[in-house]
Amino acid sequence: MTELKELAEKLGLVESRESKKEERVLPPLPNVDMWGNVVTRFAPNPDFPIHLGNARAAILSHEYARMYKGKFILRFEDTDPRTKPPLPFSYLIIEKDLRWLGITWDEKYIQSMRMDKYYSIAKKLIELGYAYVDLCKKDVFREYRNAGKACPHRDMSPEQHLELFDKVIAGEFGEGEAVIRIKTDLSHPDPAIRDWVMFRIIDTTRNPHPIVGDRYRLWPTYNFAAAVDDHLMGITHILRGKEHALNTAKQIYIYKYLGWRYPEVVNFGRVGLEGLILSKTWIKNQLKNNPEKFMGFDDIRFATISGLRRRGIVPETIKEIILSLGLSPVDARISWVNLAAINRKNVDPIAKRIFVICNPVKVVIEGVETPREIEIPFHPAKDLGKRKLVLAKPEVYISSKDLENINQGAVIRLMELFNIVIERNSKDGIIAKYHSASLDEAKKWGAPIIQWVPCNDSIKVDLLRVEGMKIRKEHCIGESSLKTLREGEIIQMVRLGFGKIEKISKARISIIYSHE
RNA sequence: GCCGCGGUAGUAUAGCCCGGUCAAGUAUGCGGGCCUUUCGAGCCCGUGACCCGGGUUCAAAUCCCGGCCGCGGCACCA
């Protein structure tokens, strides 16, 4: 191991000890020296925006390409307009999400625009007698396959199959009437491997493809298109989830027949995120059947990249988590607390501090000269500017939660302002009395230091919190400087937690609660 | 059922290939303290794990066998 590390350091592949400590060193990729330049790829299906699980493949592939000064390719795998119809906006969102994650690609491909390449390789395989057109119905073939027997079409001559192939392309067969199969081992212990399907017919008149419409009827399956492209694009290392393990076994036949060299494969485990939903299928179904219950594909309860972004999670956090998982084949269940801890550190230096009061109660302070205004820095340590709180009348909101913990007659400090003593309740609110000005005085009395908002200079805040599968909207009051912020900005609501400005309108502001 | 891959503290991960330096490192959580005009950040101390059983060996988290548990796959999806 030490030898490997030394070697990697020599080659400049590993960050030296002194560099930033959060930068985790990824383990070396297998057989790098046997391939020359490392080429990796991320190959999403644009049928939906990507989630954290996809991000793992994307981030790792990209990271390794950069680490070895190689090439990273983005490839859209959109070869099923029927079962997984590609969504035009998904292509865009996926690119946006990747860029947001700091991922840049050297080349981009869209499989639906490469159909002729797939056809010509298929023809070659048929010519060589390694592939054939199968006219059996699905369940008929299944019986042959389960018995380990060849279906009648398998042994026809390449010439006959070539002829059939042209007819299929010309559209002479309908859905389910023909498939192109590759010849594999009919006695393979896993029936799924036996003569798997390379192409099937999809009626694109009924299910047009968003990019190429009804131009093609014969579509390659994932295993064919991916295998061929990985070779044509010179991919050296495939990093993908372990659900793909079997696909390697399938694809290897093509490589064997055509004398290609199969890339190195690393299968990593699945990722889960506590409390959030990752399942693409589930999300798609819900959005289709109960759209009114959700905020869209970027709902903050979804572990989609856009959902996490909307929630106030920063790309560095996602990258850090994914890199810390590395290539481990074990399934990982990320805890929200853990993710929040990392995000908090990333966001703490850039989040403006804002006073927000939930469960507000009005406090009228006697013995104070008004108007007065005070300036408070947006951040205790970083220079993020200042905000101004204007006290036209001696009336402020504080949280009733804070009040619960305060005995009558005790001193409390309004942060950055002055110290008061709670006197009594009245119909106008709580009556308090000015006590003293200095912080030292507050400390002397052991006064709690709490946030506050001037009654006359405030704005309504809708705070959206994720609670289990529900979103709770809490009506709060915030300081008016909120209006000067921009949508999408991440803030810290003092003593409440971090949040992201969702929407600013004249009368109110909605903030998504990120985490404590 | 069949095929494949795994199992290190609450969570995640390092170490496993190449057995000793591992009475197991790191992060987070949790407990305590310091600091701080936040219940945030920072600093310090503490807490807590090698799935089980056999075997090989002077020596096993690491190698071998068995068991148990978990996950993935078994499509004319990707």
User: What digits encode the pLDDT tens for the residues A393-403?
Assistant: 999 999 988 88
Closest C1' nucleotide to A4's CA: B18
Q: What is the pLDDT of residue A368?
A: 87
Cα separation, A399 vs A415, in Å, equals: 13
Q: Is the pLDDT of residue A45 over 90?
A: yes
* Rounded distance in angstroms from the CA atom of residue A207 to the C1' atom of nucleotide B12: 43
- Alpha carbon distance A238, A241 (integer Å): 10
Q: Which of A155, A94, A168, A92 is nearest to A129 (CA)?
A: A155
The confidence band for A24, taking pLDDT boundaries of 50, 70 and 90, is low
- Residues A210-253: tens digit of each pLDDT: 999 999 999 999 999 999 999 999 999 999 999 998 899 999 99
**How many Å does it take to go from CA A449 to C1' B25?**
40
- Closest residue to B15 (CA, C1′): A1
ipTM of predicted complex: 0.91
Q: How far is the CA of A337 from the C1' of B29 (A)?
A: 8
pLDDT of residue A25: 75
| Sign of the alpha-carbon torsion through A447, A452, A455, A457 | positive
Locus of tokens 């080349």? A107
**How many C-beta atoms surround the C-beta of residue A350 within 10 A?**
14
Q: Which nucleotides of B are covered by protein (CB under 7 A)?
A: 2-8, 10-18, 27-29, 36-42, 70-78
Q: What is the pLDDT of residue A84?
A: 92
Query: What CA–CA distance (Å, rounded) separates A293 from A264?
Result: 44
Measured between alpha carbons, how far is residue A456 from residues A349, A362, A442 in Å? 30, 11, 25
Q: What average pLDDT is seen over chain A?
A: 90
What is the structure's pLDDT at A146? Answer: 86
In this prediction, what percent of chain A has a pLDDT beyond 70?
95
> Nearest residue (Cα to C1') for B12?
A334
Nearest nucleotide by C1' position to the A324 CA atom:
B13
Question: What's the CA gap between A483 and A492, in Å, rounded?
Answer: 15
Q: pLDDT band for A429, please (50, 70, 90 cuts).
A: confident
Model confidence at A19: pLDDT above 60: no
Structural tokens at position A381: 């340590």
Nearest to A480 by CA among A496, A454, A458, A448: A458
If DSSP states are collapsed to H, E and C, what string results for A127-194?
HCCCEEEECCCHHHHHHHHHCCCCCHHHHCCHHHHHHHHHHHHCCCCCCCCCEEEECCCCCCCCHHHC
If you average pLDDT over residues A199-209, what whole number do you get? 95
Alpha-carbon span A447 to A217, nearest angstrom: 76
User: Is the distance from CB of A217 to CB of A210 less than 8 angstroms?
Assistant: no
Nearest nucleotide by C1' from A1 CA? B18
Q: Give chain A's domains with CATH numbers.
A: 115-220 (3.90.800.10), 352-515 (2.40.240.10)
Query: Nearest-CA residue to the C1' of B11?
Result: A335
Q: Which nucleotide C1' is nearest A178 CA?
A: B76
Q: Judging by beta carbons within 10 Å of its beta carbon (0-12, 13-18, 19+), is residue A286 exposed, middle or buried?
A: middle
- The DSSP 8-state label assigned to residue A6 in this structure reads H
User: Which candidate, A256, A463, A478, A473, places its Cα nearest to that of A360?
Assistant: A478
A195 residue type, one letter = D
Measured from Cα to the C1' atom, the residue closest to B7 is A330
In chain A, the N- to C-terminal Cα span, in Å, equals 40
Nucleotide nearest to A136 (CA to C1'): B76
